[in-house]
Structure 1
Amino acid sequence: MSDITHTIAITRTEIRQQIRHRRQQLSTLQQQQASHDLVSQFSQHIHVQSAQHIAIYLHNDGELDTQAVINWCWQQNKHVYIPILHPFSHKQLLFTRLTPTTPLIKNKYGISEPKLDVTQVIPYLDLDLVCSPLVAFDLVGNRLGMGGGYYDRTFSQHQFVRHNQQPPYVIGLAHDCQQHDNLPIAPWDMPIKEIMTPSRTLAFN
């Protein structure tokens, strides 16, 4: 690892720690209000309104609570899918159907996810919309994740795999307090088209 790469890695680690601490300090009331406000942003989005198959994460570690959005999707008869760790492919994700009665288990990171049922798995490219978690974002569309690279691999691996089939539209979800100026970016980072917070939606070219 070069000195520059090492410096960037340290900086990214420090930013993760800072932003994670910031969102963990949000009160229960603030989290509830943010979740409620997110539904207003989410339900009015043109890509959300036209989407039938939506992937979204189950919140953890102070992340923006997605349960109200998931409930709204169910009310609109939209299919909801949750990313789960691929049991055989290293640092890859599968997307499996979530219903109100789907049993959940804890994965190796302590995050709730549906128990793997291959009959409920949807190919990534069959999704209409993917709502991605993140640790930090900036105002030019850069996204900083937890560092495992799961989503970056997912976004890059399937960009144009099938002829005449577009990849799903990706929106990052975050608290407003997760904004950071001038994120240090690594070569494998995939920029994101939009960031949605409880108060606004930011679109990038």
Structure 2
Amino acid sequence: MNHLSRSQLRQHLRFCRNRLSAQDQRNASARLTANLACHPAFIRSQHIAFYLANDGEIDPDALIQRAWSMGKQCYLPVLKPGSSNELWFTAFHSDTRLTPNRYGINEPSLHHGQHRPAWSLDLVLMPLVGFDPTGNRLGMGGGYYDRSFAFLQQQPPLRRPTLIGLAHECQRVDQLPCDSWDIPLSEIITDENRYCGV
């Protein structure tokens, strides 16, 4: 697949994850939860950013339930107002009111609760379209996560949250092209494997 452009690769990998059956998705989510629930980064983290599955993404909902039961503080990404293409992270509880953003993805109301700066999170579990075994991530192309965590390229960064990408195994490719602004991940965890990044 090295001959495909980034946009063609996105299209192909989105097709792969979207053709998984509902039962395949449930099984993958259960395996993902089992893989992550005993992960040292998950166990020790108190402030964890999640996402709500969309467009065939692997679903971390059971892991959110687990985090709540352990008394952890959970957050969801919210599009920052304006044209900065950055994310805010807003507290997420079982009774949080959600509204669709401009991409049709549910997110907490901007006025719902406290925002937490990206640098102050302990663990960020993020979706992706594709990944390679060295921790490179292919997103949807908006650059939201890269801009939100660009501070990690400072030497040394103020604080370093652990960034873990979540995916179906079918989203793996041998190698992804990298740009200077791409933020590499600490690890990528799928329903089948764990891949170490930076």
| TM-score (normalised: structure 1) | 0.90
> For 1:43, which of 37, 47, 50 is the aligned residue?
37
Equivalent residue number for residue 24 of structure 1: 18
Q: Contact 2:45 / 2:122 at 8 angstroms: preserved in 1?
A: yes
Local SS of the residue matching 1:195: strand
Residue in structure 2 matching 1:99, options 75, 80, 93: 93
| Equivalent of residue 174 in structure 1, options 140, 144, 167 | 167
Find out whether 1:202 has 2:195 as its counterpart: yes
Give the Cα separation in 2 of the matches to 1:86 and 1:157.
17
Overall identity of the aligned pairs, in %: 44
Change (3 A) 1:185 1:139: same
RMSD, aligned α-carbons: 2.0
> Does the residue aligned with 2:7 lie in a helix, a strand or coil?
helix
Q: Which range moves more in the overlay, 129-138 or 112-121?
A: 112-121
Give the aligned residue type for 1:179. Answer: R
Task: Kindly provide the amino acid, as one letter, of the partner of residue 73 in structure 1.
Answer: A
- Alpha-carbon deviations, 1:40-85, whole Å to 9, x = none? 1111111110000000111100000111111111111111100000
Give the CA deviation at 1:200: 1.8
Q: Confirm whether residue 34 of structure 1 aligns to residue 28 of structure 2.
A: yes
Encode CA deviations 1:163-183: one digit per residue, 9 max, x unaligned: 884221100010100001121
Instruction: Spell out structure 1 runs of 4+ moving beyond 3 A.
Output: 157-161
- The alpha-carbon deviation at position 26 of structure 1 amounts to 0.3
For residues 86 and 158 of structure 1, the distance between their equivalents in structure 2, rounded to whole angstroms, comes to 19
CA contact (8 A) 1:159 1:167 kept: no
Gaps in structure 1 of 5+ consecutive residues: 1-7
Gaps of 5+ in 2: none
Retained in 1: the 8 A contact 2:138–2:176?
A: yes
For 1:93 and 1:101, locate their aligned partners in 2 and report how far apart those are by CA, in whole Å. Answer: 22
Quick check: 1:136–1:145 contact (8 Å CA) kept in 2?
yes
The CA deviation at 1:132 is 1.2
Conservation of the 8 A alpha-carbon contact between 1:55 and 1:95: yes
* Cα displacement (A) at 1:129: 0.4
Q: Deviations over 1:5-53 (max 9, x none)?
A: xxx9x70001000000000000000000111111111111111100000
Higher helix share: 1
Quick one: which of 180, 183, 190 aligns to 2:176? 183
Count of residue pairs brought into register by the alignment: 197
**Conserved in 1, the CA contact under 8 Å of 2:29 and 2:58?**
yes
